[in-house]
Structures are given as C-alpha cells and as structure tokens.
C-alpha cells in the first residue's frame, strides 16, 4: 500500500547564502497525513514496499562493493516532479518520484544511486559539514562587518549589497568544494559499476540530460544540477570513462528491468490524472504494465470492480506476486471491504515476511476491523517491526491505536510519545509521556522507559526544539 506522510519541514539542502544567515541542515520532520490514497501533493513522503524493494535491490550490491553494510540504508521517497536524488547523514538516500519517473532506463537509476553511494562511502557528508563551518565562519564575519559598514554608509541597500557580496564569496567556495566531491563520487561510482559488471552509461545519460542547465538561472535549473554541480569537464571525463568501460553495453539483469518498468508505471499511474493513465494504457493493451496502470487508475476513480478485474487478471498470471496481492488488498481496503482485504494482505506478508511496509499495511487493515479480535495479532506484527527498527514512526502510531482500543491507556500514551518523538513533535511527546507516567505501574518496565523519555525531554536542548507550525 502506498501510504503518505506530510512533510512539515523540508530542510534537506537549504543554503541561506543571503544577508547574515548561512547554514546546512539535513533533517526532515514528518507527521502523518490522512490515510487517503489521492492526496499526492508535492512534499509528501510516501512508503511503498515495491518501490523500496526495487531501490534496495539496486543499492545493496553497490553498498557491498563500496565496503558499506548492505541493508543499513534508509530510503526516503518524496513526491516531487523534479529530478533529484541525494545522500544525507546516516546512510539515508532521498529520492524524488520525478527522478524515478523521468529516468528512461534501469542504468539511469543505478548510475545515480552509484554516485550517491560514492558520497556515503567517501564520508563526504561529515567532511562537507566541517568544510562549511570553515568556509562560512569567515564569510559570516565578513558579512557582519560589511553589513554594518554598508548600513552606515549606504543605508539598507548598502548593507544588503555587502551581505550578498559575502554570500557570493561563500557560495563560490562551497561550490568549489562540492565539485571536488562530485568528481570523487563519479570515480567511485564508475569503480563500483565496473566491479559489478554493470554499465556506467546511465550516469552519462543523466549528465547529458542535465547538461547545459548550469547556464540557466537557478530557479529554472533542475535541483539535481544545483545540488550536484555539473561542469563540462565532468561530462567529458564521464564520456571518456564510459567509452573505456568493458561493460558500457552490458544489459541489466532481467529482473532489474522488470522491477524498473513496474515501479515506473506504478508511480506514473498514482501521480497522474486517471484519464491520462487510461489514455496511455487503453483496454486493448494487455501488457503487465498496462493492466497494472489501469488497476490503479480505476482505484483512484473508485471504480472498484474494474480495478479488481485488472488486478485479478495479473494475479491469474502471477498468483504469488506479493505486490499484486498488496494492490488487491489496497483496492478492497479503499472500498471499505475490510474483511475481503485482509486475506490478500496476509498472503503478501507471508511471501515477504521481513517487509516492514507490507506488515504495516496488513496491520492497518486489521485495525480497520471494528472488533477486538485482531488486536493481539496487530500488536505482534508491530512489535516484530519495532524490534528490528525502533525508529519506524508509523508502527508506533498504529501500536498506540491498538493499545488504546485494548484500554491500555498508559501503554498507548507511551507509544504515542514514541511516535511524536520521531515525528519531531516535542510538545505532543511531552504531553503523552506525562499521561503515560500517570497510568503505568511504577514497577512496569514500560514505566522505566517512560521515565527515560521524560528525562530526555527535560533537557534544555530538547525543550527548545519545537515542531514548526
């Protein structure tokens, strides 16, 4: 199931290179959106098991040859039509849906992922932070002095000009440093791809697609160009490297190609108006991609029987495909046919028992049953998820709902506090932890956990960190 999160504060790559403020932040704060399928606005973070599976299938081999631990990556997929991808601290990869939809081949996607892996393996992120401090401190001092002098001599306009002059100095230094890192990541990507016998042509395709954009005004540039400075020298170097590669004409593994086509059409179908999807994939097109796209278009049009017909045809051909089963569950779930939705979700989970996204979709479907007969099962599923990844925020939210329905007020409040902490909502976390402490027995291990959270929340540095409105 594609689930949504509202992006409240997107502070991935803000360069406040104007006036007196200079900073670089890679933190994102999420709170849950409504569970609707159709609120696909820019800046929404989605969880989709199939898309994540595809990306992990490409990333894990890259991590292995880069000397990183495969499986430790965190993937964040953001609804944004612009082509961009980035690596941040904590081996997190941020992928725009626009990047996946605009990429024309598997190698295009893999080439960019190899480049971002190069940034992670080269520890560029922590080095970049250190470099920013070194560059920005003198720039900030220059800006302060220049602004003061400018205000005295030339009023507001003079002060602004001086500050912007300092910003331009800092920007040039930062871009120069970035270009060095970009070249290093390029070389690492080429090495990884050659070791895997994968074609580097996709990375060159991306470069050529974006070439020439550095001449555009920044607000007209593709974000990938702004965050990954592209020069003619880089492009020429990449061309020479591709020509030398013995794997330049390699074909991707068949299952890689199939995954790419399916995810490509899935995202297109969810993010495009249904008439556009149905026009592109008419009823006489019986390809896998066309049937998949139509099932999603009909889902969005709330034409449940038509959506089920398309997905059932796919399941007739691929009865043990977990993602088609998940889609059938989602179609029935969105139609309010909860009891019918549960079996396909359960079967999907049985085929991919380690898949946290599938498990959460299954748990949510079970929770929609208004009786209490599934509560123990829901809690078991969510505890399995949280044991492996305690930072899975939505699992904490669902656990809080299940515990609340089971009249376990103290434990529900503790779970809500855990969720609020991971959503960046310190005010809500504090309120819920106080409620938990009032309702939990002091000898209960959960009380000790609540006390630990309260002690953390009482720290001055934590109190100052509030979620933006």
Cβ–Cβ under 8 Å, residues 52 and 15: no
Q: What does the pLDDT average to over 191-212?
A: 88
pLDDT at residue 17 above 60? no
- Listed range (100-104, 150-154, 353-357, 445-449) with the worst mean pLDDT: 150-154
Query: Which of 43-52, 232-241, 277-286 has the largest mean confidence?
Result: 277-286
- What lies within 8 Å, CB to CB, of 240 at 6+ separation is none
Is there a contact between 55 and 75 (Cβ–Cβ < 8 Å)? yes
Confidence at residue 219, expressed as pLDDT on a 0 to 100 scale: 46
Distance of CA 46 to the CA centre of its chain: 7
pLDDT at 227 over 70: no
Confidence of residue 10 (pLDDT cuts 50, 70, 90): very low
Q: pTM of this prediction?
A: 0.77
Burial class from Cβ neighbours inside 10 Å (0-12, 13-18, 19+) for residue 356 reads buried
Q: Which tens digits make up the pLDDT trace of 384-436?
A: 999 999 988 899 999 999 999 999 999 999 999 999 998 888 999 999 999 99
pLDDT of residue 170: 42
- What's the rounded mean pLDDT across residues 216-241? 62
Tens digit of each residue's pLDDT (9 = 90 or more) over 109-126: 999 999 999 988 887 565
Would you say residue 84 has pLDDT above 70?
A: yes
| Mean pLDDT within 32-38 | 39
For the chain, the domains span 3-244, 408-469
Q: Output 275 or 157, whichever has higher pLDDT.
A: 275
With beta carbons less than 8 A apart as the criterion, state whether 5 and 33 touch.
yes
Residue 31: predicted pLDDT: 28
The least confident of 103-117, 177-191, 222-236, 278-292 is: 222-236
- 159 falls in which pLDDT band (50, 70, 90)? very low
In tens, the pLDDT along 45-76 reads: 888 999 999 999 999 999 999 999 888 788 88
Q: What is the pLDDT of residue 4?
A: 52
Which residue from 342, 333, 264, 343 is spatially nearest to 299, judged by alpha carbons? 333
């Amino acid at each position: 199931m594609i689930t949504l999160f509202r992006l409240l504060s997107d502070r991935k790559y803000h360069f406040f290179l104007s006036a007196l403020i200079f900073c670089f932040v890679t933190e994102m704060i999420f709170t849950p959106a409504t569970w609707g399928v159709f609120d696909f606005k820019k800046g929404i973070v989605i969880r989709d098991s199939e898309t994540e599976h595809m990306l992990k299938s490409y990333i894990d081999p890259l991590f292995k040859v880069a000397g990183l631990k495969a499986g430790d990556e965190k993937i964040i997929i953001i609804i944004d039509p612009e082509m961009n991808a980035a690596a941040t601290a904590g081996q997190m990869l941020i992928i725009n849906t626009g990047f996946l939809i605009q990429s024309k081949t598997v190698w295009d996607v893999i080439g960019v992922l190899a480049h971002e892996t190069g940034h992670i393996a080269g520890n560029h992120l922590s080095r970049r932070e250190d470099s920013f401090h070194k560059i920005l401190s003198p720039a900030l001092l220059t800006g302060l002095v220049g602004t003061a002098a400018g205000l005295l001599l030339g009023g507001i306009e003079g002060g602004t000009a001086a500050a912007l002059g300092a910003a331009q100095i800092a920007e040039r230094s930062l871009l120069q440093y970035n270009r060095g890192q970009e070249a290093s990541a390029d070389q690492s990507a080429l090495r990884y791809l050659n070791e895997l016998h994968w074609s580097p042509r996709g990375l060159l395709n991306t470069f050529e697609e974006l070439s020439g954009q550095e001449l555009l005004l920044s607000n007209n540039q593709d974000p990938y160009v702004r965050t990954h400075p592209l020069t003619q020298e880089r492009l020429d170097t990449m061309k020479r490297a591709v020509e030398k590669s013995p794997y330049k004409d390699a074909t991707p593994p068949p299952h890689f190609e199939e995954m790419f086509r399916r995810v490509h059409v899935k995202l297109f179908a969810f993010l495009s108006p249904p008439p556009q999807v149905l026009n592109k994939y008419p009823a006489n097109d019986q390809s896998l991609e066309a049937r998949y796209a139509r099932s999603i278009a009909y889902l969005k049009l709330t034409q449940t029987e038509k959506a089920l017909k398309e997905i059932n045809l796919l399941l007739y051909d691929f009865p043990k495909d977990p993602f088609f089963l998940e889609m059938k569950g989602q179609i029935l779930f969105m139609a309010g046919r909860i009891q019918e939705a549960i079996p396909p979700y359960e079967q999907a989970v049985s085929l991919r028992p380690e898949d946290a996204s599938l498990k959460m979709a299954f748990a949510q479907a079970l929770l929609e049953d208004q009786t209490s007969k599934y509560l123990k099962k829901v809690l078991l599923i969510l505890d399995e998820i949280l044991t492996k990844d305690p930072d899975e925020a939505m699992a904490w939210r669902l656990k809080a709902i299940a515990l609340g329905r089971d009249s376990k007020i103290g434990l529900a409040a503790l779970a809500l506090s855990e969720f609020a902490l991971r959503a960046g909502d310190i005010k809500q976390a504090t309120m819920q932890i106080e409620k938990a402490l009032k309702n939990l027995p002091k000898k209960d291990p959960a009380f000790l956990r609540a006390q630990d959270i309260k002690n953390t929340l009482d720290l001055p540095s934590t109190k100052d960190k509030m979620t933006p409105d």
